[in-house]
Amino acid sequence: MKILVINSGSSSIKYQLFEMDKKAALTTGLVERIGLDGSRIKHKIFRNGDAAEVIKEIPIKNHQQGLERVAELLMDSEVGVIESPAEIAAVGHRTVHGGERFNSTTIITDEVVAKMRELIPLAPLHNPANLEGIEVARQIFPQATQVAVFDTAFHQTMPAAAYRYAIPNNYYTEHGIRAYGFHGTSHLFVSKAAAEYLGKPVADTNVITAHLGNGCSITAIRGGRSVDTSMGFSPLPGLMMGTRSGDIDPAIIYYLGTKLGMPLADIDKLLNKQSGLLGVSGNSDLRDIEARQASGDAEAQLALDMYTYRIKKYIGAYVAVLGRVDALVFTAGVGENSPYVRQHSCAGLENMGIKLDAAKNRSDSRALREISTADSPVKVLVVPTNEELEIANQTLAAITQN
């Protein structure tokens, strides 16, 4: 059975086609610069252990055209992997915001689309692009069941004490202002993999998962259920990120508006696109910052100090939330690849039972691996995330249950 996973953004569509019998990706690709100059499709196919990539530089006016070209590539005589769109049993859509309405993976109907439209004010940038992807996939793959996998759904198990903000109740009851949390698919995937590695039932396993990519979030998971997470009403709070500030005093926003006369749109841009690692060091890519730090650059050093200090603070907070922690998991681009960040985020946490093994931490293995000392009460793991596979698995589960 084949499942197509789609992540539709405002000017891009990422896709991956899975053969579910083997849990293997047959193709992966990216349509980029939709509606802009220089639009193109990067399409990669995996055959017999080899990968080959084709790049098509073609005008792509909108998402409809983009997905039509993808369907053609999937059926292409040279780089294709299917003969007819009907071979695709289901399309799993990565969907950013499900609000409180969607707490699990959901088969898409007209009613579901209507409810998702009602949620647009909560995610004005992401949900319209996700809906666009859903609308065109329904036209191009009409035989396939369309399934929505929400980034927020995994965190719907948080208790009110964790998700409510201490502002008057009506802002929650009338306007839905609460913490929702994001990156749920990744936190779920790596926490399940960690429990499996530990050989424990998910229901008995407590894990802290640190997803450190361009966006960063950290989650406390008790018995397979998210009980707290660092992102909130939006993906802005919590850890310091590539270009997002993470936690700041909200009074700064008021100050920027009143004292500096900054329009709200500029403040939004400042905190989401010009802050974080970029704002402090001038680079958003951690590799560049690590290279500068190694040659003694003070701004790069400060950015790394702030970045790892914030992670450490959240780990400490989530040890307190969980009481007992079986594993601390690092994942995503930085979490999987930066020994420096892992080392400095865990330094000084030995009394909390977190003891890193310096040599294991430096290993350049790409696989799931343990990087704590043999006597560390909390296992520290590096678990490569695979959000697309998790979306495909959840899509499969949704269509086989119905």
Residues with a catalytic annotation lie at 151
Q: How far apart are CA 9 and CA 361, in angstroms?
A: 35
Asked if 242 touches ligand ADP (CB under 6 A), the answer is yes
Q: How far is the CB of 346 from ligand ADP (least distance, A)?
A: 16
Measure Cα distances from 138 to 110, 123, 148, 285, 331 in Å. 11, 22, 12, 36, 33
Helices (H) and strands (E) in the chain, counts: 15, 14
- Structure tokens, 284: 């958003």
Segment interacting with ligand ADP, rule: CB under 6 A, options 106-114, 157-165, 230-238, 332-340:
332-340
Check binding of 287 to ligand ADP (CB under 6 A): yes
Work out whether 393 is an interface residue with ligand ADP (CB under 6 A).
Answer: no
Provide the minimum distance between the beta carbon of 300 and ligand ADP in the complex, in angstroms, as a whole number: 13
Distance between CA atoms of residues 92 and 343, nearest Å: 36
The single residue among 135, 266, 268, 285 that binds ligand ADP, judged by CB under 6 A, is 285
Residue 334 CB partners (closer than 8 Å, separation 6+): 212, 213, 216, 286, 341
* Segment interacting with ligand ADP (CB under 6 A) among 94-102, 135-143, 210-218, 251-259: 210-218
Check residue 334 for interaction with ligand ADP (CB under 6 A). Answer: yes
Contacting range for ligand ADP; rule: CB under 6 A; set: 15-23, 169-177, 200-208, 329-337? 329-337
Whole-angstrom CA distances from 145 to 1, 57, 117, 191, 388 are 13, 30, 19, 28, 17
Closest distance to ligand ADP from the beta carbon of 347 (Å): 18
In the bound state with ligand ADP, the residue whose beta carbon lies nearer, of 275 and 338, is 338
Measured CA to CA, the distance from residue 345 to residue 333 in angstroms comes to: 15
Give the binding range for ligand ADP (CB under 6 A) out of 93-101, 190-198, 211-219, 366-374: 211-219
Q: Distance between CA 384 and CA 382 in Å, rounded?
A: 7
We find the least distance from the C-beta atom of residue 77 to ligand ADP, in angstroms, to be 32
Three-state SS for 95? strand
Query: Is the CB of 128 or the CB of 333 nearer to ligand ADP?
Result: 333
Residue 247 engages ligand ADP in binding (rule: CB under 6 A): no
35: nearest Cα among 7, 72, 8, 62: 62
Give min distance, CB of 263 to ligand ADP, in A. Answer: 28
Indicate the DSSP class of residue 174: T
> What does the binding site for ligand ADP look like in residue numbers (CB under 6 A)?
213-215, 242, 285-287, 290, 332-334, 337-338
